Structure 1
């Protein structure tokens, strides 16, 4: 099975409670700009593993792509706190930049 989306859907079908399978399917969907569906998988992964920084970052990016600015801000702020706690400089810089851009861009 070469299609990553089909492969990840099958894994979620087999292991619906597995947060890694959900995250992986969310990422495959995200990479294909299917933000609404991806968002649900990132929400589930983040709720099961609240310390999973990347799930929060990608959830925020989905929210932003769907024009849910306040939800994006919440996800990015959570990811920023995790980046600080986990000493991840790159994601911290990315979240600081994303939050600054949200603060400067007027809501639509």
Structure 2
């Protein structure tokens, strides 16, 4: 199922490469299909496209952690936390604070 979703969203991104929502969905589908490394540039492009889009920052930061890239994850998660606080997203802010505290303690 995950591979089928990834293929579906890849086709949509191929047809409309400027559509950030399709790209975001493709990144999620790739990650769900176990193709985390391939999801990274799609999340990164979503992050670059919209300065106030919190969710791709959270997912990219978590993915970087999953891939063992703590140094890459930290500034992304810090930026996501800044947005979560500015946008009054309490649950994501709390989760991000925990992730960043864990990073600091290692």
State the TM-score, normalized to the length of structure 2: 0.93
Measure the CA separation in 2 of the matches of 1:33 and 1:94.
23
Equivalent-residue separation in structure 2 for 1:41 and 1:92 (angstroms): 23
Q: CA RMSD in A?
A: 1.2
Q: Name the TM-score, length of structure 1 as normaliser.
A: 0.91
- 1:65 Cα deviation from its structure 2 partner: 1.4
Name the residue aligned to 1:67.
Answer: 68
- The equivalent residue for 2:37 is 36
Matched, 1:83 2:76: no
Deviations 1:57-104 (A, max 9, x none): 011011111111011011100000000010000100110010011111
Q: Kindly report structure 1 stretches of 4+ aligned residues shifted beyond 3 Å.
A: none
Mapping of residues 37-52 of structure 1, within 5 Å? 37-52=38-53
Once residues 104 and 51 of structure 1 are traced to their aligned partners in structure 2, the CA distance between those partners, rounded to angstroms, is: 28
Q: Classify the secondary structure of the residue corresponding to 2:42.
A: helix
Are 2:54 and 2:83, in contact at CA under 8 Å, matched by a contact in 1?
A: yes
Instruction: Report 1:14-25 matches (<5 A).
Output: 14-25=15-26
Unaligned runs of 5+ in 1: none
Task: List alignment gaps of at least 5 residues for structure 2.
Answer: none
Shift of 1:18: 1.2
Q: How many positions carry a matched residue from both structures?
A: 104
